[in-house]
Amino acid sequence: MGKETGFLEIQREESHYRPVKERLADYRDVNLYADEKTISRQGSRCMDAGIPFCHAIGCPLFNLIPEWNDYVYKNKWKEAYERLTLTNFLPEITGRICPAPCEASCTLSINDSPVTIRQIECAVIERAFSEGLVKPRLPRRESGKKIAVIGSGPAGLTAADRLRSFGHSVTIFEKSSKPGGLLRYGIPDFKLEKHIIDRRIEIMKSEGINFETGINAGKDISLRYLQEKFSAVLIAAGSGVPRDIDIPGRTLNGVHFAMEFLTGSNLAVSGESAANLVNAAGKTVIVIGGGDTGSDCVGTANRQGAKKVYQFEILPRPPEHNETWNPVWPEWPKILRTSSSHEEGVQRDWSIITRSFHGNGDLQKVLFSRAEWEKNEKGSWNMKELKGTEHYIQADLALIAAGFVHTEHSGLVNDAGLDLDKQGNILVKNYASSVRGIFAAGDAATGASLAVRAVYHGREAAEEINRYLK
Ligand SMILES: Cc1cc2nc3c(=O)[nH]c(=O)nc-3n(C[C@H](O)[C@H](O)[C@H](O)COP(=O)(O)OP(=O)(O)OC[C@H]3O[C@@H](n4cnc5c(N)ncnc54)[C@H](O)[C@@H]3O)c2cc1C
């Protein structure tokens, strides 16, 4: 701990966003990144708590947070980078898009404001890139074993890199035209610019990792082929089946899944293809679902020039908590959150039930009613529809952002006859599926989650596969 009194003397300095008007005119990163002097000062706020809750409870990757906070305060950026990358293969991703559960469990969050851990993480890795420290790491020897990784999201990328470091030959099969998974085709550029992913992929290629893009495993190549040619197969195919809302009018033009909208936009923004663009320009847009995917739809619709954007959530409005300390420390607080996209213009409402879509071929209006939530004697919430609250809202575009059900079953999962859990995700024990030699990690096994968890599971799955191959 570099500065014992740092947390008493220095206030948390939040990162800032570019002005709304400026950022709405482009898709570039909304963040303004703090300079290194500020970051270094923020590092000194870390108390090096006896029990580092950030590391042990908050961070799914068990990042060695107090150690790199201290190095940053002492201007030892290389050491901070080395500590950071002991546990985190993609800090340039988590440093930008992680909700930072570590900050919720920072000991300072008990009654003060947490250390700006995510900002520090991002600064450490960016400094390492700028100093040329992030280099391909070649294995000391080749094992002669070949591994197939299906899917190039954060779970697949992390697993591939770790497996390669053990000396295995690794091929990533990806059905999209470019690697990155939801990082590339789900999350908009204003949260994560795609050159950040490209930079990492180039390093992985230099390490000898093969990328076979445009290959749908289970369709373009059979599972049997993969099992014959590779010593182990890791399925990191994500949680690709979106949750639908089965109500009248669902097939009208103008009613889309959020992912159709976001993928179409990401493809158009990158210049890859404008063929699947669902354009919100000049339209009244209703986003159904109050989560992060919905928030990304709001930001994208506003950038496309939507006339008006609504975002409705069926669950009740979370409580507001405008203090910097965490009311449920060290847990993640379920409080009202306002993203950069919300700040850019949206009418939000909660306890809203979507009843039916109406139009004459094309969507014209949506019928909603209000819900009332009551706790039953067992303590769980029951929803009741409030009579007489039906109302229409005129709309040209409705985006269903109601979450994801489970991983895609057709193809690989069904062909292999893999056991599934109750939710329909691939059932695993220590990352091994019910079929010998086939492993699963990331959202495909956990259900839709966070990038940081996918990185963790990718890392651990690689360790298990390595043990299996010995
Ligand atoms: C809109 C949106 C915004 C999000 N924002 C955030 C955020 O801000 N912060 C955060 O932490 N998390 C966020 N998430 C969640 C995060 O992106 C995911 O949890 C994470 O990407 C899961 O990683 P994964 O590697 O398991 O799967 P994915 O990223 O889904 O990657 C799976 C890959 O497998 C490929 N694939 C599937 N089947 C096959 C096949 N048969 N053959 C070949 N390839 C196949 C897919 O094309 C895909 O590229 C967001 C998710 C969405 C949808």
The CATH number of residue 31's host domain is: 1.10.1060.10
Q: From the alpha carbon of 412, which atom of ligand 1 is closest?
A: 41
137 is a domain residue: no
Output the pLDDT for position 204. 98
The string of DSSP letters for 190-232 reads TTS-THHHHHHHHHHHHTT-EEEET--BTTTB-HHHHHHH-SE
For the CA of 297, the closest atom of ligand 1 is: 1
What integer pLDDT is reported at residue 325 of this predicted model? 95
Tell the residue number behind the tokens 């890199």, with chain if given.
Answer: 161
Q: Is residue 180 part of a domain?
A: yes
Q: Which domain holds residue 83?
A: 6-130
Average model confidence (pLDDT) across the chain = 97
Atom number in ligand 1 closest to CA 240: 30
How many structural domains are present in the chain? 3
pTM of the model: 0.97
Tell whether 267 is covered by a domain. Answer: yes
Of 149, 187, 191, 414, the residue with max ligand 1 atoms within 8 A of its CB, to mutate for a pocket test, comes to: 187
Cα 374 to ligand 1 centre (Å):
34
Structural domain includes residue 139: no
Same domain, 150 and 105: no
| 315 CA to centre of own chain | 21
Q: Three-state DSSP class for 141?
A: coil
106: pLDDT strictly greater than 90: yes
Task: Name the closest-CA residue to atom 1, ligand 1.
Answer: 293
Q: Which two tokens stand for residue 305?
A: 């020039």
C-beta separation of 363 from 398 below 8 A: yes
pLDDT for residue 1: 67
Q: Answer yes or no: is pLDDT of 375 > 90.
A: no
Question: What CATH number is given to the structural domain containing 176?
Answer: 3.50.50.60
Ligand 1 proximity of 217 Cβ (cutoff 6 Å) = yes
- Please tell me the distance from the alpha carbon of residue 400 to that of residue 292, in angstroms, as a whole number: 12
8 A C-beta contact, residue 70 and residue 48: yes
454 lines ligand 1 (CB under 6 A): yes
Residue 56 falls inside a structural domain: yes
306 lines ligand 1 (CB under 6 A): no
Same domain, 226 and 340: no
Q: Tokens at residue 376, please?
A: 């039953």
Q: What stretches of 64-189 adopt beta strand conformation (E)?
A: 146-150, 169-174
CA of 43 to the centre of ligand 1 (A): 31
| Residue 264, ligand 1, Cβ within 6 A | no
- CA-CA distance, 129 to 103, in Å (whole number)? 24
Q: Tell me 315's DSSP state.
A: S
Q: Are 256 and 279 in contact, with CB atoms under 8 Å apart? A: no
pLDDT on residue 357: 98
Distance in angstroms between the alpha carbons of the first and the last residue of the chain: 41
Q: Does 52 have pLDDT greater than 70?
A: yes
240 lines ligand 1 (CB under 6 A): yes
Do 249 and 380 sit in the same domain of this protein? yes
Q: 300: Cβ below 6 Å to ligand 1? A: no
- The percent of residues in the chain predicted with pLDDT above 70, rounded, is 100
Neighbours of 61 (CB within 10 A): 23
Q: Is 436 left (phi over 0), alpha (psi -120 to 50) or beta?
A: beta
Of 402, 431, 453, the last residue of a domain is 402
Q: What does DSSP assign to residue 89?
A: S
Chain centroid to CA 377: how far? 35
Give the whole-angstrom CA distance, residue 155 versus residue 451: 8
409 shares a domain with 397: no
As a whole number of Å, the CA-based R_g of the chain is 23
Specify if 141 maps to a domain: no
Determine if the peptide bond prior to 330 is cis (ω within 30°).
yes
Task: For residue 264, name the pLDDT band (cuts at 50, 70, 90).
Answer: very high
**From CA 152, how far away is CA 158, in angstroms rounded?**
9
Has residue 126 got a pLDDT over 80? yes
Asked if residue 216 has its Cβ within 6 Å of ligand 1, the reply is yes
Measured in Å, residue 284 CA sits from the centre of ligand 1 at: 28
Q: Count of H helices and E strands in the chain?
A: 19, 18
Please work out whether the CB of residue 233 comes within 6 Å of at least one atom of ligand 1: no
Question: In this structure, are 387 and 422 located in the same domain?
Answer: no
SS3 content of the chain, % helix, strand, coil (to 5): 35, 20, 45
Tell whether ligand 1 has an atom less than 6 A from the beta carbon of residue 58.
Answer: no
Question: Scanning the structure block, which residue is given the tokens 């990784």?
Answer: 149
Residue 88 DSSP SS3: coil
Distances (CA, A) of 270 to 27, 91, 186: 10, 23, 13
Query: Which residue has its alpha carbon closest to ligand 1 atom 38?
Result: 237
Per-residue confidence (pLDDT) for residue 451, from 0 to 100:
98
What number is the average pLDDT over the span 310-314? 98
Evaluate: CB of 154 within 6 angstroms of ligand 1. Answer: yes
- Shared-domain flag, residues 378 and 412: no
Pick from 402, 418, 451: which residue ends a domain? 402
Per DSSP, helices labelled H in 344-433 are 412-416
Give yes or no for residue 254 CB within 6 A of ligand 1.
Answer: no
Compute, in angstroms, the gap from residue 178 CA to the centroid of ligand 1. Answer: 13
Tell me the mean pLDDT in the region 394-419.
96
One domain, residues 298 and 372: yes
Tokens 């293809």 locate to: 273
pLDDT at 379: 81
Q: Over the range 86-115, which residues count as b (16 or more CB within 10 Å of their CB) and which as e?
A: ebbbbbbbbbbbbebbbbbbbbbbeebbbb
User: Binning pLDDT at 50, 70 and 90, where does residue 185 land?
Assistant: very high
Tokens of 253: 């033009």
Last residue of a domain, one of 71, 105, 130: 130
76 and 94 part of one domain: yes
Angle subtended by helix axes 154-165 and 451-469, to nearest 10: 30
Res. 202 pLDDT band, cuts 50 70 90:
very high
Residue 218 — left, alpha, or beta (φ > 0 → left; ψ -120 to 50 → alpha)?
Answer: left
**Alpha helix (H) ranges present in 209-347?**
223-229, 258-270, 292-304, 340-343
* Non-local CB neighbours of 358 within 8 Å, separated by 6+ positions: 249, 252, 364, 365, 366, 367, 392
Ligand 1 lined by 98 (C-beta under 6 Å): yes
Write the residue with the smallest CA distance to atom 13 of ligand 1: 450
Q: Judge whether 138 lies within some domain.
A: no
- CA–CA dist 299, 303 (Å, integer): 6
Calculate the CA dihedral of residues 83, 85, 91, 95 and round it to 10 degrees: -10
43 domain-assigned: yes
Which residue's structure tokens are 């014992």? 4
CA of 443 to the centre of ligand 1 (A): 7
Spatial distance between the Cα atoms of 91 and 118, rounded to a whole number of angstroms: 9
Shared-domain flag, residues 397 and 261 = yes
User: Are residues 168 and 58 part of one domain?
Assistant: no
Are 307 and 391 within one domain? yes
Same domain, 432 and 291: no
Ligand 1 pocket, residue 242 CB under 6 Å: no
